Chains A and B, each alone.
Chain A
Amino acid sequence: STQFYKWLNHLMSLHVQTKPSNCSPDWETKVLEYFKEKLKDNEAASWVPSLNDVPVHYLKANSLVKFRCFIQDMFDPEFYMGVYETVDPSSKSKVLRSGKYKDVAECGHQVDLNTKNAVTLERQTFYCVPIPGESPWVKEISFSYSCSNPARVVPSTSYAPCRHKRSYEEDEDMETQPHKQKEQLGTTDIHGSGDPKRLETEAPSSLSNAASGCSSPLDLNFPLPGEKGPACLVKVYEEWELFKVNDILEVYGILSVDPVLSVISEDKDSSLVDPMDCTESVEEQRVHCPPASLVPRLHMLYAHRLQHNNPLLPPAASEGQSSSGFLNDVVSVRGELLGYLTHVLLGDALAAEYLILHLISTVYARRDVLPLGKFTLNLSGCPHNSTYTEQLYRVIQQLIPSSFRLGMSLHNMNNLRLVPRKDYTANRLLSGVLQLAPNTSLFLDETQLEQGQLDSTGVRNITALGNLISWQKVDYDFNYHQMEFPCNINVLIASEGKSLLPCDCHVRLQPQLAPPNLEQYISTIQVSLSPSLLNKFRIYLSLLRTLDYSISEEVTKAVEDDFVEMRKDDPQSISAEDLHRLLVVARLLSLSVGHTTLSRDRWMRAKHLETLRTNRTEQQKCVNGNEP
């Protein structure tokens, strides 16, 4: 594999520099095909360094890298010279070159712009950021995958880029011994290295550091506050229609960090660049041509849409061999998980049951406006003014690949930008908290809400949350109009009383025990969980989402009769909405034990669960009297 990566990189550089004149036209597609074939092999793919794990300045320019990312924005298409001609100044000989997969023409050649041989082509730029809300464990595991043998799954505890960097730099064929020693020096003092090659790759970063010192720092436009990681401009050469905003991708491409790209954006006021010489405004250029060291360019060779970002599962989680094996002990894992969650939910088994259903729910189909399969859970009765909700979120974060906790405090509601908005001066989509990848868990903490005044932003934010929950869509604000973006976000609301937001299912938490120190109690439960079991939980929750599900004709008939029967006795007891919910509960319940069809037993069990739940709410009504 080492050999493979070396060879791959070599081939890449070859490809970048090839002259299309001396090879057949389908040469390029053949090479790409070959790459894709090779990269499908997990082993080979794991040798490609990942932008997620390795800081940009440790990577070689023009080498093959991969990036697990989230499409935040799409820019306008870019027109570039697919084929251009250069003139050697000394010999005056003309050479045709390919302009694909690079940003800047080779130095030392004069580009002949007026030749007839030049071909203008088009490519699309995506602005990609790391997957928002990705849990730390995902990063750790995928990192350990990429630097160790993929067969071994050991969540590494420390995040050490230097160790990793050496591991692949050793593979460089031109690497020499003295160089390596300097390299080690370089890791301790990055700027102190005198190595020419180092300097070359370091240059943009130090340059930009100096630049960012004097100008305002670049807003990398992450959807969630406090996110870190590289943002990337991914240049797509073919089939860009297949990708959508908010998709998560794994991109394999050629890294481009040419410092020249940064110069354009930084020397704004110098005489070198005339602002009139460009159709873009200053703000726009800041966004569209950020310094390459901060926002590297990635020329896409190959990418696949990820259905999930759980590193413990194979990326294409259709009915793989591993998953079918796992399905056998699904029931036992479910039992363990139920026990674990029951402990976390202070001994409330019913709430734990519903929490499992919620965690494996996903929008599996959409009929016109109606999203099917969503299961928003409202967990009421959470103690106010305690860290319990935070602890609960920690537990969920440990289980789910990506999640975010939004404290619904008045300040947050009035100040956060939840809905993405188009900024026409900079010509980009300003991200908002609700711009999330599919299957992200959004944990709304309503216990933080206090009495007070919501301003117009606050009202809009609450409406957006309501829309998200009821229709699984977010209306992005394009100033002149709104655009509907369907999404698939699991919303869990933790509240004291019933939430002010709509929800599919409301469960009143009934703690069976009251530990004196909540924090300590939860952390003991978490510590006592073995890592292998934790990984099983993670696989369980991600895998079950991908299963197909059907209802047989016979059961359908039974369900219909049941409904009519129930209505006959007491029309108030069940409405169309209740039936919808009941069917979703039955579906999730069947899936949670690995069944892909609905059986009568499961239907009865679902009904039983719902009765238990509604009884509990009724009781609460009697106690409180005024709760709606």
Chain B
Amino acid sequence: MPPKDYFAEKEKCKKFLQEFYTEDESGKKVFKYGAQLVSLAHREQVALHLDLDDVAEEDPELVESICENTKRYVGLFADAVHELLPEYRQKEVVAKDSLDVYIEHRLMMEERSRDPSDMRDRRNQYPAELMRRFELYFRPPSTAKPRVLRDVRAESIGQLVTVRGIVTRATEVKPMMAVATYTCDQCGAETYQPIQSPSFMPLIMCPSQECVTNKSGGRLYLQTRGSKFVKFQELRIQEHSDQVPVGHIPRSMTIYARGENTRVAQPGDHVAVCGVFLPLLRTGFRQAVQGLLSDTYLEAHCITLLNKTEDDELGAQELSEEELRQITEENFYEKLAGSIAPEIYGHEDVKKALLLLLVGGVQQAPKGMKIRGNINICLMGDPGVAKSQLLCYIDRLAPRSQYTTGRGSSGVGLTAAVMRDPLTGEMTLEGGALVLADLGVCCIDEFDKMADADRTAIHEVMEQQTISIAKAGIMTSLNARCSILAAANPAYGRYNPRKSVEQNIQLPAALLSRFDLLWLIQDRPDPDADLRLAQHITYVHQHCRQPPTHFTPIDMKLMRRYIALCQRRQPVVPESLANYITAAYVEMRKEARVNKDTTFTSARTLLSILRLSTALARLRLVDTVEKEDVNEAMRLMEMSKDSLQADKSSSTRTQRPADVIFSLVRELASEGVAGRGRGGAGGVVRLADAEQRCVSRGFTPAQFQAALDEYEELNVWQINQARTRITFV
């Protein structure tokens, strides 16, 4: 390959800077860099960020060379800018600091000494670095994917790379000498020494013509005011934990940030850094000793702060058509729910509820009143029904979550504590688990083991989604917009069928009503279920993996991204459904009065239904709630209630679904009679109404159809030809 003509390359750079433009809406040309050059010339801007995407539009080849040999091109572009700047100066520049004055002075000196007879010594010429007050950085092309730290190898040396990581260390910002200026004590001439490496050997003897010819032995003295310093900060970043292969230690990398890139990141920040990967030049003794080794660093060009959620959103954008299709295929709802803790067998409805908890309902804030969208769930159950495992799984699946156990946490640990800073003596607030889980999930295991006083501390969180603090002179309210997933054992360790439900749960109604769903997972013998359970376990032991199911569980990362995608939807309940939901609610209240319901049916129940149905709509990635969603939400409510009461029904005569459906339809018919007041014509029910009623009580349409046929055969009712009406005989 012939050596590159860097002069020509520089001309290319110049041309780009001068001629690059974009068109705004009105079709006017906007010279992006030209405008910046003007403000650079007037000392109104320090950093010039060159977007490599723009360069790619003009000259894709140039971008390639820039990425391969970045350091050289920084120099070329800087030279180009330096040469262009005087053309862009439109008015007299006011000197901002002493260095500006120096530069001006030096320029004048140069002007004056433009005498062909008095050629200045080359070494006494002003180095370009000294006269420049701007900084030039590249912004990586959008096509360049951020790399994992461990993929930055020896081949990448000298190239422009983008990496991501967490800042583990940041030094203070220190001035770093860029050009050292010396004056001679004999002839007074100034000498300049550009400095590239972290250390340098100071010049001692004056190299000027005068001193050399006179052999006067002029000594040089370092002149601090005349030297140029840049801000310098050293960072250390470490790989994100998800980029580390299992069983490996995260890698780290040193980053040098200069000038405008300093003070951007602090330890603990997630950053994306684009920069040049360079070996560190060693000098002196160290070079001799460690001649074969070289330390490397990344010279930062562009440091962007990412926070973890943004990071996840980026992941969500990359959800390809293919992946979307994979998720949203038929019965994706079951599939998604089944992918939650696939190693735990059964509990489909619980898993569905947990899926909705992860997605969350829509939060409403009409006129300052806030109605939470987060769904709270309490899992109750006998020991050893994998409650903790479910919690653990959710904790791992949720992008942001906290896991605590009731026994180990006090009310203060959950909410917030006021601490006195040992150094300054100031009072500071330290968030507890609920605050840390803001916008996430807070899993509380062993909920029943918590002291009552501590448990009341989370009442506020569960409804208002804030934590108010009034202690030690601090009065504030912290956001705690988290969903609470609690797991508790029944009061006597195991569910006691001889005791009532209240006695078994032993949680105050104020708390219970704040949970949208309350599941009782009982360990009841059931030959079919037991066999399936046994098959599942033996399969795992036999083959060391999951039994083949009709679907493969969706990957955790994909789920996370899909859920993030769902959460961006804000579905609304259409006017047409309002009546339907109201009717259903009234129905539930009525029933609760009859049954002396233990799980207090209140206005909160209605809100729960709304939350669950909006979550369902979100899950389908649509913007309006449909009847199906409401039905499913009510079915879940019903099932959760069922799980609490199933024991009672089993003690009395078990009712076949068909019988229950029949009684429901009959009830509906008598209502219709009473409502319309049309005697005689009674006993006619619209089939769609009847189906709705039944579905909202947790029956499947198939069960409904079966019941219809059964009772028609018994000649209890008749169904018209079009199957739209049921007429009681």
Residues of A within 8 A of B (CB): 73-74, 76-81, 84, 99, 102-105, 111, 113, 120-122, 241, 244-247, 260, 263-264, 272-274, 276-280, 364-365, 367-370, 372, 424-425, 427, 429, 459, 478-483, 485-486, 550-551, 556, 559-561, 563-564, 567-568, 571, 575-577, 579-580, 583-584, 587
Distance between Cα atoms of A480 and B523 in the complex (Å):
40
> Of A104, A244, A370, which is within 8 A of B292 by CB?
A104
| Closest Cβ–Cβ distance, residue A34 to chain B (whole Å) | 25
B538 in contact with A273 (CB, 8 Å)? no
Chain A interface main SS type? mixed
What mask results when residues 528 to 549 of chain B are scored 1 for a CB within 8 Å of chain A, else 0? 0011011101111110111000
Given A244-B247, A264-B290, A576-B384, CB of A427 within 8 Å of CB of B538 = no
B295 in contact with A568 (CB, 8 Å)? no
A580 in contact with B537 (CB, 8 Å)? yes
A556 in contact with B538 (CB, 8 Å)? yes
Given A483-B244, A486-B246, A486-B247, CB of A367 within 8 Å of CB of B530 = no
- Residues of A near B408 (CB, < 8 A) are 459
A264 in contact with B286 (CB, 8 Å)? yes
Q: Does B677 contact A (CB under 8 A)?
A: no
- Residues of A near B287 (CB, < 8 A) are 113
| Closest Cβ–Cβ distance, residue A290 to chain B (whole Å) | 15
What mask results when residues 205 to 249 of chain B are scored 1 for a CB within 8 Å of chain A, else 0? 000000000000000000000000000001010100100111111
Interface size for B (C-beta < 8 A) is 72
> Of A81, A122, A263, A563, which is within 8 A of B153 by CB?
A122
| Closest Cβ–Cβ distance, residue B112 to chain A (whole Å) | 39
Residues of B within 8 A of A (CB): 153-154, 157, 166, 168-169, 197-199, 234, 236, 238, 241, 244-254, 267-268, 279-280, 282-287, 289-297, 342-343, 345, 384-386, 389, 392-393, 396, 408, 523-525, 527, 530-531, 533-535, 537-542, 544-546
- Residues of B near A486 (CB, < 8 A) are 246-247
A280 in contact with B292 (CB, 8 Å)? no
A-B contact pairs, 7 of them (CB 8 A): A78-B293, A81-B292, A104-B292, A274-B284, A278-B286, A560-B538, A576-B385
List the 10 closest pairs (A to B, CB-CB), nearest first.
A244-B247, A365-B544, A571-B525, A563-B534, A560-B534, A122-B154, A279-B254, A74-B249, A551-B542, A583-B541
Given A74-B248, A277-B199, A369-B343, CB of A104 within 8 Å of CB of B268 = no
| Closest Cβ–Cβ distance, residue A625 to chain B (whole Å) | 16
B295 in contact with A579 (CB, 8 Å)? no
Residue of A at shortest CB range from B542? A551
B247 in contact with A485 (CB, 8 Å)? yes
| Closest Cβ–Cβ distance, residue A97 to chain B (whole Å) | 10
A367 in contact with B241 (CB, 8 Å)? no
Distance between Cα atoms of A587 and B294 in the complex (Å):
53
A483 in contact with B527 (CB, 8 Å)? no
> Of A369, A480, A568, which is within 8 A of B389 by CB?
A369
- Residues of B near A264 (CB, < 8 A) are 286, 289-290
B541 in contact with A587 (CB, 8 Å)? yes
- Residues of A near B384 (CB, < 8 A) are 575-577
| Closest Cβ–Cβ distance, residue B364 to chain A (whole Å) | 34
Residue of A at shortest CB range from B533? A576
B289 in contact with A104 (CB, 8 Å)? yes
> Of A79, A105, A280, A568, which is within 8 A of B291 by CB?
A105
Residue of B at shortest CB range from A126? B249
B538 in contact with A120 (CB, 8 Å)? no
Distance between Cα atoms of A80 and B294 in the complex (Å):
6
B525 in contact with A568 (CB, 8 Å)? yes
B168 in contact with A480 (CB, 8 Å)? yes
Distance between Cα atoms of A280 and B292 in the complex (Å):
17
| Closest Cβ–Cβ distance, residue B477 to chain A (whole Å) | 28
- Residues of B near A480 (CB, < 8 A) are 166, 168, 238, 267-268
- Residues of B near A571 (CB, < 8 A) are 523-525
Distance between Cα atoms of A301 and B385 in the complex (Å):
52
Distance between Cα atoms of A580 and B544 in the complex (Å):
13
> Of B247, B343, B535, B540, which is within 8 A of A560 by CB?
B535
Distance between Cα atoms of A103 and B289 in the complex (Å):
9
A277 in contact with B292 (CB, 8 Å)? no
Distance between Cα atoms of A113 and B236 in the complex (Å):
27
Given A120-B154, A121-B154, A479-B168, CB of A567 within 8 Å of CB of B294 = no
Distance between Cα atoms of A563 and B537 in the complex (Å):
11
Residue of A at shortest CB range from B538? A556
Give the interface centre of A245, A277, A364 by most chain B CB atoms within 10 Å: A277
- Residues of A near B385 (CB, < 8 A) are 576
Given A276-B199, A429-B249, A577-B384, CB of A372 within 8 Å of CB of B531 = no
What 7 new A-B contacts, CB under 8 Å, besides A80-B293, A104-B290, A560-B535? A81-B291, A104-B291, A245-B247, A368-B343, A369-B396, A370-B540, A583-B541
- Residues of A near B531 (CB, < 8 A) are 560-561, 563-564
